[in-house]
Every structure is written in C-alpha cells, then in structure tokens.
C-alpha cells in the first residue's frame, strides 16, 4: 500500500518527503485554504510538485461539466504528475467519461458508496477515494466501503486504484492496509503517529543510557 500525504502545507510536505516513503499527495480546496501557502492555486500546486516526485491530486473548483473539463485540461497541462479530483455528481461522472478518453488522470473524490465507485470505474476514472472518516462521522462503517470497493474491483478485474481517504488516525491506516487499499492518503499528523511507539522511545532511551557505560 502506497502512502500519500493529504495536505497542501508545504512545510509538512517537505518534512514528510524526507522520510522517503511518501509517494504522492492529495489536496482539496479546504486543505489549500488552510495550508498557508502564498500565491495562486497553480503556484501552490507547482510548489507541492517540486517537493515530491509522485502524483498530486488537485480538485476542480467548478460544478458544471464543461467547466470541470476545461479546468481539468488546464490542471493536467501543468504537469504529467497532476491527477484531477472530481466528485461523483451527474456532471462530474460525465466530465470523467470525456477526460478519461483524453488520457487525463482523474480521482473520484467524495466517494461514499459502492455505486459511485462503480460509476466512476465505468467512466474510466484512474482512482476512487472512499472517504472513511466522514462515513464514520455519520455512523457508517467507512472502512467497510474501502474493503467492498477493493474486493469488487478485483473480482471484475477493474484497473481503477483505490485510495483510502479521510483517514483520521493510525488504526485507519492499519485497517486500510488489511482491506487491500492500493494507497492510503493521510494528514501529516497521522503520518507522525504511524512512526511513534512508546516502546521504541523507551528502548532507545535505555540503549543510550547503557551506551554511556561502554564508550
């Protein structure tokens, strides 16, 4: 399972990139707005691309099919590593159908059902992003949706990749891994917590103390 950073915070992306295990990033308008980056939408996205060698998902800001298509064509002209996030509305699915024929990489964002994932796959979407945490928030089992999409896509040999998104804590990462997600996209804070284990910290501290006696 690949790890993506779900962030538009340049400091966090730079720090995470140093770990050498982050294969890409996902952004959305809320993340860009709170990321604190200076410059236009395009400048911020280009800065993220400079910090990582993998793909970066960028969300369309319009809701009508033709405007989404125009936006997506523009974004994908910025770099071959851009993936365009489009929601599974009637207009969005229709836009993905056109864009996939043009070779524009797309990510079905805000995916909350197997039906939406199926429509995206039939439209030729590159990635689907089931939003685990937001489903959990309304009393549904978000990770069950990830597992269902992975299992069903595999049964029908559908090539669309599954990104477990809206992950809120390290247990979500473990569950996404077990559910067979191809990618987990997570906030910087969750990545930090994945590294942490109190027994590792205690173990290092004991080894360092004992090392004083042998130097």
Cβ pair 192, 22 in contact under 8 A: no
Considering the rule CB under 6 A, would residue 185 count as an interface residue with ligand E4P? yes
Q: Considering the complex, state which of residue 97 and residue 166 has its C-beta at the smaller distance from ligand E4P.
A: 166
Q: C-beta of 165: minimal distance to ligand E4P in Å? A: 4
Interaction of residue 134 with ligand E4P, rule CB under 6 A: yes
Number of residues that bind ligand E4P (CB under 6 A): 12
Residue nearest to ligand E4P (CB): 166
Helix (H) or strand (E) holding 201: helix 198-211
CA distance 180 to 182: 6
Question: Residues 85 to 124: which contact ligand E4P by CB under 6 A?
Answer: 109
Tell me if residue 85 is catalytic: yes
> Considering only CA atoms, which of 170, 187, 190, 193 is closest in space to residue 30?
187
SS (H, E, C) 25-63: EECCHHHHHHHCCCCCHHHHHHHHHHHCCCEEEEECCCC
Q: Contact between 153 and ligand E4P (CB under 6 A)?
A: no
Could you say which of 9, 106, 160, 166 contacts ligand E4P (CB under 6 A)?
A: 166
Q: Smallest distance, Å, CB 106 to ligand E4P?
A: 13
Closest CB 131 distance from ligand E4P, rounded Å: 5
Contact between 28 and ligand E4P (CB under 6 A)?
Answer: yes
131 forms beta bridges with 165
If we measure between CA atoms, which residue out of 109, 100, 48 comes closest to residue 79?
Answer: 48
- The yes or no reply on residue 126 touching ligand E4P (CB under 6 A) is no
Looking at the annotation, which residues are catalytic? 85
């Amino acid at each position: 399972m690949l790890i993506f950073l779900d962030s538009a915070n340049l400091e966090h992306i730079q720090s995470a990139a140093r770990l050498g295990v982050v294969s890409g990033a996902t952004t959305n308008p809320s993340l860009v707005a709170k990321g604190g980056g200076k410059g236009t939408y395009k400048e911020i996205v280009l800065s993220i691309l400079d910090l990582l060698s993998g793909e970066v998902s960028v969300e369309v800001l319009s809701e009508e099919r033709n405007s989404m298509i125009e936006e997506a064509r523009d974004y994908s002209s910025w770099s071959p590593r851009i993936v365009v996030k489009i929601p599974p509305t009637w207009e969005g699915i229709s836009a993905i159908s056109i864009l996939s024929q043009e070779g524009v990489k797309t990510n079905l964002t805000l995916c909350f059902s197997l039906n939406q994932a199926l429509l995206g796959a039939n439209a030729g979407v590159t990635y689907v992003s089931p939003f685990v945490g937001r489903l959990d928030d309304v009393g549904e089992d978000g990770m069950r949706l990830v597992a269902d999409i992975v299992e069903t896509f595999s049964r029908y040999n559908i090539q669309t990749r599954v990104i477990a998104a809206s992950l809120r804590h390290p247990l979500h990462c473990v569950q996404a891994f077990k559910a067979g997600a191809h990618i987990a996209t997570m906030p910087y804070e969750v990545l930090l917590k994945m590294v942490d284990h109190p027994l590792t910290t205690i173990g290092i501290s004991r080894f360092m103390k004992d090392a004083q006696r042998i130097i």
